């Protein structure tokens, strides 16, 4: 019995889906039944006509029988719903303008909202996937004040410790479960076909214990695993064809910080795809080298004890660290969650976007509500007629709601489709330049994790239908009121429900102001960044590095090779000049060279506030287009063994030699007691990003630089060529020269300076692009809303205007009335928008450059822009009001 019940239920569900066959079968069966009956009746002597009539009577009416069989066969409500939907569909098809505007509005709102929410959810909310309890993982940062510039905020950097120091830290700091070292400083696997140079990271065994990562193939690194390497899932798939036999394979890696070493390693395993530490770009991991002469240093990864906050632990860790590293009392120690550090600057950006789409969603909902109201009013007549011929109010309401739900569902579905398109755009946009050696972050972190989660899909689907239903219900309840009553009320007050609508439109205008301010701020930021003087030329500059085949190239050999290579390239017809340096602008590596001092001292160490040291070739500065302000640049007088000279930039000249002319002064670099002579002052360079103020720098010619054991080129020399043609065009010629000099050497990290600079401002560009599109949509929606409401109000006052015109008012007067009415709403909306934005704008402050969230000009521009757009929405209905024909209106009266 129970089973047969379930079976019937299933059969009824199935019947919903394929009603066509069942219907024709039923018709056939009833037809056969009637034929048999008629045969019988004719047999009893009835005429054909009588028999047919009597047969139908005995059966009980063909349509009634079918209807009752249908009720038993399927579910009545579902069958009704299907009919309602079909009816609603026809209704929408009859008014395409209404259908299109509501569905497009909902699609835009739902699509943009779910895309941004999905991104924010993936980046900000979802816990990191690479370790259990990731919220307990922290980095140790130190804030070091600059005594020379007490007014500037302290410089924030990561604390770097040696293996012994971090062991002491773990022992002393009771708030930590443990701490290990991380250093993303390995490059290589040069033997791997097509891999170029991969990025690797050293993880101390303690770090690995804290992270407890899972492996996909093979085993993780364990104690004493010298010369063992573990690959990332990505690298394994890209370069090894996901071959499980990779375990045991021998590869080569290059160590590029500290002493440059090339060593042979063996693959022992492949990490699980979720393991993306310290970065999504990390391709392989090794244990830190054990080198007694120069102990391994790395940044700290620590795990807090459960229940301990980073703020609380900072006290404990700070004390230990001060002791271990003899930090000054004014150095502040801060613990930052890995997640917060990873998300960092993206957080305010995403929060701003969430706020912006929230506003857009609100505008869209209000608009849809307004559209439904207008439609309901337009259909009052239709509904009244149908009510008069017997349709119940409930029936009419139900039909309206079906229509609203259909619109909501369609808007939701299209919105989801839009969202997935937007997300794939964001993902491609966010890919960034993908270079690990640069200070350029990907526009968004946790890129691979960005996706529409099931929760968002479900919420969106329900949200769309809910908005449609709500807007439809409100309007339908109004419209299904007895029309006579509404008509009478309309006489009594010329503008029904104008107050509610006025608020609706004002809120939309306010929202539009918020979005436009956001767009102007981010747009200005992006333009400011574009316009900023980097201090070097970015056009017609090609940058590249050379990967040398093996350890055959020692430091000195690389330097001399680079010099020959540069001079031979400089002789190429399409190349003006070629320079090289240990790092280019936008390259991460910092170096102080031991500091630049005005007095000799063999005991001191360079400090945090030491100037940035640049080791460059003779032609580097002119090749990069860095201007010489005073004195002279490097030339042939500055070779090895000749009088040692140094160039300083303007920032350093101002800071270190306050008031004095630096030219001709003797300075000392590091602990070296032999003096260097300042021979020139060059322009400032924004070394670490366009948004960062230029730092004090000094320049030493590589020919005169003997670093005393440390490598000249910590990450290999960076070359730059000033080209006469498009930078990419010289690549073949360049490759030709390289091959002729060293057949096994390869070019890599090829990019024009323009590309690098453009990539460095991809994040502000993404933000500006998104906010500009959002604000465009928002303003358009608000204008449409204003237009709709004013049109409606004007139409409702037709009679009044007619009377006014008949009594002697000019069309101008009528125009004035409507414009005043609209303008009042717009102005109050603008005021509310400005006030609201002033309150909420702070969230975006840190993502701005050269403009503030309190810039009156920005607000004035936004208000003016929205006001102008709004005036279109006012003008059109106002014009229509003046065209009212007084005579016709009075005749209607």
Partner 1 sequence: MTSKGSEPIVLLQGTLDLIVLRSLSTMGPLHAYALAARLEQVSDAAFTLNQGSLYPALVRLEQRGWIKGTWGTTSNNREAKFYEITGSGRRALTTEAARWRRLAGLVDRLLADPS
CB closer to partner 1, 39 vs 885 = 39
Contact 164, 189 (CB under 8 A): no
Pick the piece of the chain touching partner 1 (CB under 8 A) from 5-13, 362-370, 629-637, 856-864: 5-13
* Residue that the structure tokens 């690797």 belong to: 200
* C-alpha to C-alpha distance for 54 and 663, rounded to whole angstroms: 122
CB closer to partner 1, 33 vs 691 = 33
Helix 393-430 × helix 76-94 angle, to 10°: 70
CB closer to partner 1, 27 vs 242 = 27
Pick the piece of the chain touching partner 1 (CB under 8 A) from 32-40, 456-464, 496-504, 630-638: 32-40
Q: Is 29 in the site for partner 1 (CB under 8 A)?
A: yes
* C-alpha to C-alpha distance for 871 and 202, rounded to whole angstroms: 62
CB closer to partner 1, 28 vs 174 = 28
Pick the piece of the chain touching partner 1 (CB under 8 A) from 1-9, 344-352, 518-526, 610-618: 1-9
DSSP, res 122: I
Contact 120, 353 (CB under 8 A): yes
What's the min distance (Å) between Cβ of 31 and partner 1?
9
* C-alpha to C-alpha distance for 866 and 830, rounded to whole angstroms: 8
* CA distances (Å), origin 466, targets 87, 409, 774: 20, 9, 23
| SS3 (DSSP) at 729 | helix
Q: Which two tokens stand for residue 489?
A: 């009320």
Among 16, 19, 23, 33, binds partner 1 (CB under 8 A): 33
- Compute, in degrees rounded to 10, the torsion defined by CA atoms 653, 658, 661, 663: -40
Among 7, 76, 83, 174, binds partner 1 (CB under 8 A): 7
Contact 220, 269 (CB under 8 A): yes
Q: Is 24 in the site for partner 1 (CB under 8 A)?
A: no
Q: Is 8 in the site for partner 1 (CB under 8 A)?
A: yes
Q: Which of 260, 381, 227 is nearest to 712 (CA)?
A: 260
Q: Which helix (H) or strand (E) holds 118?
A: helix 96-120
732 φψ region: left (φ > 0), alpha (ψ -120 to 50), beta (else): alpha
Among 16, 23, 26, 654, binds partner 1 (CB under 8 A): 26
Please give the distance of CA 17 from its chain centroid, rounded to a whole number: 42
CB closer to partner 1, 1 vs 892 = 1
Q: Is 35 in the site for partner 1 (CB under 8 A)?
A: yes
Q: Is 5 in the site for partner 1 (CB under 8 A)?
A: yes
| SS3 (DSSP) at 288 | coil
Contact 814, 881 (CB under 8 A): yes
What's the min distance (Å) between Cβ of 57 and partner 1?
9
Radius of gyration of the chain (CA): 38
CB environment 26-44: b (16+ within 10 A), e (fewer): beeeeeeebeebbeebbee
Among 27, 36, 148, 835, binds partner 1 (CB under 8 A): 36
CB closer to partner 1, 64 vs 164 = 64
CB closer to partner 1, 8 vs 552 = 8
What's the min distance (Å) between Cβ of 14 and partner 1?
9
Q: How many CB atoms lie within 10 A of CB 554?
A: 11
Pick the piece of the chain touching partner 1 (CB under 8 A) from 2-10, 107-115, 323-331, 386-394: 2-10
Q: Is 12 in the site for partner 1 (CB under 8 A)?
A: yes
Pick the piece of the chain touching partner 1 (CB under 8 A) from 26-34, 424-432, 438-446, 589-597: 26-34
CB closer to partner 1, 60 vs 292 = 60
Pick the piece of the chain touching partner 1 (CB under 8 A) from 25-33, 177-185, 751-759, 806-814: 25-33
What's the min distance (Å) between Cβ of 80 and partner 1?
17
Q: Is 46 in the site for partner 1 (CB under 8 A)?
A: no
CB closer to partner 1, 32 vs 820 = 32
What's the min distance (Å) between Cβ of 13 and partner 1?
10
CB closer to partner 1, 59 vs 85 = 59
What's the min distance (Å) between Cβ of 49 and partner 1?
19
Name residues contacting partner 1, limited to 282-301 (CB under 8 A). Answer: none
* Residue that the structure tokens 């240990």 belong to: 582
* C-alpha to C-alpha distance for 362 and 513, rounded to whole angstroms: 13
Pick the piece of the chain touching partner 1 (CB under 8 A) from 29-37, 535-543, 808-816, 882-890: 29-37
CB closer to partner 1, 27 vs 741 = 27
What's the min distance (Å) between Cβ of 37 and partner 1?
6
Phi, psi dihedral angles at 573 (to 5 degrees): -65, -35
Among 37, 182, 566, 863, binds partner 1 (CB under 8 A): 37
Contact 292, 304 (CB under 8 A): no
Contact 273, 216 (CB under 8 A): yes
Binding map of partner 1 across residues 201-240, x = CB under 8 A, - = no contact = ----------------------------------------
What's the min distance (Å) between Cβ of 70 and partner 1?
9
CB closer to partner 1, 28 vs 637 = 28
Q: Is 639 in the site for partner 1 (CB under 8 A)?
A: no
Among 16, 19, 23, 30, binds partner 1 (CB under 8 A): 30
E strands in 136-276: 137-144, 155-158, 160-162, 176-188, 198-203, 215-218, 228-231, 250-255, 261-271
CB closer to partner 1, 61 vs 850 = 61
What's the min distance (Å) between Cβ of 26 and partner 1?
7
* C-alpha to C-alpha distance for 689 and 133, rounded to whole angstroms: 34
Among 39, 382, 533, 729, binds partner 1 (CB under 8 A): 39
One-letter-per-residue 3-state SS of 57-103 = HHHCCHHHHHHHHHHHHCCHHHHHHHHHHHHHHHHHHHCHHHHHHHH
CB closer to partner 1, 1 vs 93 = 1
DSSP per-residue letters across 598-652: SS--SS----TTPPEEEEE-TTHHHHHTPPEEEE----GGGSTTSPPEEEEEHHH
Q: Which of 254, 252, 249, 289 is nearest to 267 (CA)?
A: 249
Q: Is 268 in the site for partner 1 (CB under 8 A)?
A: no
Pick the piece of the chain touching partner 1 (CB under 8 A) from 6-14, 332-340, 481-489, 748-756: 6-14
How many residues bind partner 1 (CB under 8 A)? The answer is: 30
* C-alpha to C-alpha distance for 451 and 78, rounded to whole angstroms: 34
What's the min distance (Å) between Cβ of 59 and partner 1?
5
What's the min distance (Å) between Cβ of 48 and partner 1?
16
What's the min distance (Å) between Cβ of 54 and partner 1?
11
Name residues contacting partner 1, limited to 47-106 (CB under 8 A). Answer: 58-62, 64-65, 68-69, 71-73
CB closer to partner 1, 38 vs 403 = 38
Q: Which two tokens stand for residue 617?
A: 């070739």
* C-alpha to C-alpha distance for 723 and 731, rounded to whole angstroms: 11
What's the min distance (Å) between Cβ of 76 and partner 1?
12
Q: Which of 642, 730, 653 is nearest to 684 (CA)?
A: 653
The neighbouring-strand residues paired with 299 are 160, 182
- Measured in residues, the chain has a length of 893
Contact 474, 369 (CB under 8 A): yes
Pick the piece of the chain touching partner 1 (CB under 8 A) from 7-15, 398-406, 650-658, 746-754: 7-15
- Residues near partner 1 (CB under 8 A) are 1, 4-5, 7-8, 11-12, 26, 28-30, 32-33, 35-37, 39-40, 58-62, 64-65, 68-69, 71-73
């Amino acid at each position: 019995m129970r089973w047969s019940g379930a079976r019937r239920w299933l059969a009824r569900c199935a019947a919903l889906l394929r009603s066509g066959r069942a219907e024709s079968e039923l018709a056939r069966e009833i037809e056969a039944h009637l034929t048999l009956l008629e045969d019988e009746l004719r047999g009893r002597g009835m005429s054909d006509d009588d028999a047919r009539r009597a047969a139908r009577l005995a059966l009980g009416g063909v349509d009634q029988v079918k209807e009752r069989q249908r009720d038993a066969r399927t579910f009545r409500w579902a069958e009704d719903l299907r009919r309602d939907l079909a009816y609603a569909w026809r209704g929408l098809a009859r008014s395409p303008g209404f259908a299109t505007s509501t569905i497009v509005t909902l699609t835009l709102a739902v699509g943009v909202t779910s895309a941004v929410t999905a991104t924010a959810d993936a980046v900000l909310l979802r816990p990191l996937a690479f370790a259990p309890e990731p919220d307990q993982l922290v980095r140790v940062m130190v804030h070091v004040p600059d005594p020379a510039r007490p007014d500037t905020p302290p410089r924030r950097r990561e604390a770097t410790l040696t293996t012994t120091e971090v062991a002491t830290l773990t022992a002393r700091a009771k708030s930590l479960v443990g701490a290990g070292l991380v250093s993303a400083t390995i490059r290589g696997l040069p033997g791997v076909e097509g891999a170029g140079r991969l990025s690797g990271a050293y993880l101390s065994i303690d770090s690995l214990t804290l992270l407890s990562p899972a492996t996909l193939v093979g085993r993780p690194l364990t104690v004493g695993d010298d010369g063992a390497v573990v690959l990332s899932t990505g690298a394994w798939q890209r370069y090894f064809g996901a071959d499980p036999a990779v375990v045991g394979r021998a590869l080569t890696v290059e160590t590029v910080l500290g002493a440059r070493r090339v060593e042979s390693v063996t693959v022992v395993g492949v990490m699980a795809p979720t393991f993306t530490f310290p970065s999504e770009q990390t391709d392989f991991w090794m244990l830190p080298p054990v080198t007694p002469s120069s102990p391994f240093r790395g940044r700290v990864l620590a795990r807090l004890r459960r229940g301990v906050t980073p703020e609380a632990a900072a006290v404990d860790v700070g004390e230990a660290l001060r002791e271990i590293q003899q930090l000054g009392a004014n150095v502040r120690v801060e613990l930052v969650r890995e997640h917060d550090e990873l998300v960092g600057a993206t957080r305010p950006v995403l929060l701003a976007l969430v706020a912006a789409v929230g506003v857009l969603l609100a505008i869209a909902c209000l608009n849809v509500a307004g559209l439904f109201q207008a439609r309901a009013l337009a259909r009052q007549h239709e509904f009244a007629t149908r009510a008069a011929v017997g349709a119940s109010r409930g029936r009419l309401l139900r039909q309206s709601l079906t229509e609203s739900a259909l619109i909501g569902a369609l808007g939701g579905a299209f919105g989801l489709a839009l969202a997935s398109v937007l997300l794939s755009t964001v993902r491609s946009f966010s890919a960034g330049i993908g270079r690990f050696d640069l200070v350029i972050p990907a526009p968004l972190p946790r890129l691979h994790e960005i996706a529409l989660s099931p929760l968002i899909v479900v919420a969106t689907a329900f949200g769309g239908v809910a908005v449609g239903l709500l807007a439809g219900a409100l309007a339908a309840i109004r419209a299904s009121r007895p029309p006579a009553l509404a008509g009478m009320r309309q006489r009594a007050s010329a503008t029904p429900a104008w107050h509610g609508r006025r608020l609706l439109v004002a809120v939309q205008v306010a929202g539009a102001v918020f979005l436009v301010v956001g767009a102007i701020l981010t747009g200005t930021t992006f333009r400011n960044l574009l316009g900023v003087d980097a201090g070097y030329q970015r056009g017609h500059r090609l940058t590249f590095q050379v990967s040398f085949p093996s350890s055959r190239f020692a430091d000195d050999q690389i330097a001399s090779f680079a010099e020959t290579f540069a001079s031979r390239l400089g002789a190429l017809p399409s190349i003006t000049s070629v320079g090289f340096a240990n790092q280019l602008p936008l390259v991460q590596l910092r170096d102080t060279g031991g500091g630049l001092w005005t007095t000799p001292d063999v005991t001191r160490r360079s400090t945090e506030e030491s100037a940035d040291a640049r080791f460059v070739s003779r032609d580097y500065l002119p090749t990069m287009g860095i201007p010489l302000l005073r004195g002279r640049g490097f030339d042939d007088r500055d070779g090895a063994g000749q009088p040692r000279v140094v160039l300083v930039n303007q920032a350093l000249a101002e800071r270190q030699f306050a008031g004095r002319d630096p030219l001709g002064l003797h300075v000392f670099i590091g602990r070296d007691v032999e003096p260097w002579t300042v021979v020139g002052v060059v322009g400032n360079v924004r070394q670490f990003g366009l948004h960062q103020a230029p730092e004090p720098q000094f320049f030493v010619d590589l020919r005169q630089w003997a670093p005393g054991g440390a490598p000249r080129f910590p990450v290999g020399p960076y070359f730059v060529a000033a080209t006469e043609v498009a930078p990419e065009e010289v690549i073949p010629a360049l490759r030709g020269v390289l091959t002729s000099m060293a057949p096994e050497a390869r070019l890599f990290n090829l990019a024009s300076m323009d590309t690098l600079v453009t990539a460095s401002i991809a994040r502000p560009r993404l933000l500006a692009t998104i906010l500009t599109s959002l604000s465009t949509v928002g303003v358009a929606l608000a204008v449409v809303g204003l237009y709709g409401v004013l049109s409606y109000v004007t139409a409702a006052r037709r009679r009044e205007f007619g009377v006014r015109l008949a009594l002697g008012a000019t069309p101008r007067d009528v125009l004035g009335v409507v414009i005043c009415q609209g303008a009042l709403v717009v102005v109050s909306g603008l005021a509310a928008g400005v006030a609201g934005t002033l309150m909420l704008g702070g969230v975006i402050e840190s993502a701005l450059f050269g403009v503030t969230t309190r810039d009156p000009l920005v607000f004035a521009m936004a208000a003016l822009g929205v006001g102008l757009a709004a005036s279109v929405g006012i003008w059109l209905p106002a014009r229509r009001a003046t065209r009212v024909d007084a005579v016709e209106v009075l005749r209607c009266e």
